[in-house]
Structure 1
Amino acid sequence: MADNEILFGTVLDERFRLTLWEVCQICEVSAEQVAALVDEGVIEVEGEAPSNWRFTASAFERLKIALRLERDLGVNREGTALILDLLEEVNRLRR
Structure 2
Amino acid sequence: MSDKLTATPLVGVVLEEQVDITVDQICALCRVEHTQVVHLVEEGVIDPLPPTPALSAQWRFSGEALSRARRALRLQRELELNPAAAALVLDLLDEVASLRQALRDFAA
1:55 maps to 61
Q: Decide which of 85, 89, 92 is 1:83's aligned counterpart.
A: 89
Segment drifting more, 63-72 vs 47-56: 47-56
- Mapped partners of 1:74, 1:18: distance in 2: 27
**Counterpart selection for 1:31 from 20, 29, 34:** 34
Q: Which amino acid is 2:74 matched to?
A: R
CA shift at 1:61, angstroms?
Answer: 0.8
Larger radius of gyration: 2
Percent identity for Structure 1 against Structure 2? 43
Q: Contact conserved, 1:37 with 1:43, CA < 8 A, in 2?
A: yes
TM-score if structure 1 supplies the norm length? 0.78
Q: What is the TM-score with the length of structure 2 in the denominator?
A: 0.70
CA distance in 1, matches of 2:78, 2:56: 26
- 8 Å contact from structure 1 (residues 43, 62) kept in 2: yes
Q: Deviations over 1:13-56 (max 9, x none)?
A: 35532100011111110001100111122211124699511111
Unaligned runs of 5+ in 2: 1-8, 102-108
The SS at the match of 1:87 is: helix
- Count, aligned residues: 90
User: What letter matches 1:39 in structure 2?
Assistant: E
Counterpart for residue 3 of structure 1: none
CA gap 1:50/1:33 in 2 versus in 1, 3 angstroms: farther
Moved more, 8-17 or 83-92: 8-17
